[in-house]
Amino acid sequence: MGETVIEKIIRNNVGHAVKPGDIVTVNVDRVMIHDIFIPFVADKFEEMGFKKLWDPDKVVLIYDHLVPASQLDDTRHFHTGDAFAEKYGMKNVHRSDGICHQLMTEAGYVKPGNIVFGTDSHTTTYGCVGAFSSGIGYTEMASILGTGTMWIKVPETIKVVIEGELPENVMSKDVILRLIGDLGADGATYRALEFTGSAVKNMSVASRMTMSNMAIEAGAKCALFTPDEKTAEYCEIELNDFQKSLVGDEDAKYIKTVTYRAEDLVPVMACPSQVDKIRDVSTLEGTEIDQVFIGSCTNGRLEDLAAAAEVLKGKKVADYVKLIVTPASRKIYRQAIELGILDTLAEAGAMITHPGCGLCCGRAGGILTDGESVVATNNRNFLGRMGTSKVEIYLASPKTAAACAIAGKIVSPK
């Protein structure tokens, strides 16, 4: 019997073949802790009686949700994190470099075939380079810090095949939203999503990141793309034989196969307040909006900012509409400056913020109030996510979001 990608990764780690449902203990290649969770991880680590980290070089601490501080207690998280890092010899600390999920691959911490855990549900993002990555709680993280191991149940796999060429105004965000709508918010619970097909192969690593990032919105344990030459270039490595083998076998056992013809896909939105409430943008046209947000670990990358700038070039944001743009990392911010992308966005009327999570987690940088509506490129539109529980959040691609900013209402990107 052949193997799925997730089965190959786990087999390589534990040294023997596995099948869905098996309980195994894996050796962890890397972990990520962000600023919100570090106080809880630190307390639990010492409560468990550990005296040292299993490997300080494999631990990454990233300040992103609370940077810059917007509430009085935020600085406690920074002081706790700094003290923990110094006490236990952690060198991989990022205090204002960008969003954790962008940095973990951008800074080279995650490689194809790795097993990685993080204290954030969107840790699934690193599947874009062919890594098994998943979010965990602070108790599990404290245990890994002390032992370097983690138990997991081998997940079943849903195969997602996307063949053809995406239409001009359809981005990978539209693809993953369509899939979430079809599967449902719990349709992939504790299952791996394995993406393949000609449209997937043609996607950039950044586009794949968008899709693996949002896999958790269908409940997925992880989302995996086969490493290829684009992956190797992005990770600045030469793929070894194991990494090249990370493709689902023809006779592998999948619980389900979902197939799309790329040419049939259209721009879509997730409507308030469910991420699987997917509607074609064309059916929502004319809905008035107050704000647009382009950024987050889902769509704050260079190609996202460039796509928005292409739509906005030579145009202006509608009166009384706020357009907030947040690059996913400091590196992306600088690249966007050098390429003139931020100039284009600023000339159109965008407010450009420091790299970080910002509005996505409702901490700072544009929260809204009762009766207001926002079109946003992030990953969740739950009640209260970006302000009060009476804010309406529509999730869309950067191209769609930019078009809406110009029109002051929901429109299709044309």
Q: Which two tokens stand for residue 221?
A: 């344990």
Yes or no: say if 381 and 275 are a contact pair by the CB < 8 Å rule: yes
Q: Quick one: which H or E segment has residue 393?
A: strand 392-395
Please choose, from the candidates 109, 104, 151, 169, the residue with its C-alpha nearest in 3D space to the C-alpha of residue 311. 169
Task: Confirm whether residue 100 is marked as ligand binding.
Answer: no
- Amino acid (one-letter) located at 132: F
Task: Confirm whether residue 357 is marked as ligand binding.
Answer: yes
Please tell me the distance from the alpha carbon of residue 131 to that of residue 114, in angstroms, as a whole number: 5
Please tell me the distance from the alpha carbon of residue 139 to that of residue 290, in angstroms, as a whole number: 40
Please choose, from the candidates 202, 272, 194, the residue with its C-alpha nearest in 3D space to the C-alpha of residue 230. 202
Yes or no: say if 156 and 191 are a contact pair by the CB < 8 Å rule: yes
Task: Confirm whether residue 361 is marked as ligand binding.
Answer: no
Q: How far lies 147's CA from each of 25, 93, 109, 136, 204, in Å?
A: 11, 21, 19, 15, 36
Residue 411 φ then ψ, to 5°: -140, 160
Query: What DSSP line would sit under 43-66, residue for residue?
Result: HHHHHTT--S-S-GGGEEEE--SS
Question: Taking each helix axis from N to C terminus, what angle separates 302-312 and 330-338, rounded to the nearest 10 degrees?
Answer: 40
292 beta partners = 323, 375
Binding site membership: which residues? 297, 357, 360
Binding annotation for [4Fe-4S] cluster: 297, 357, 360
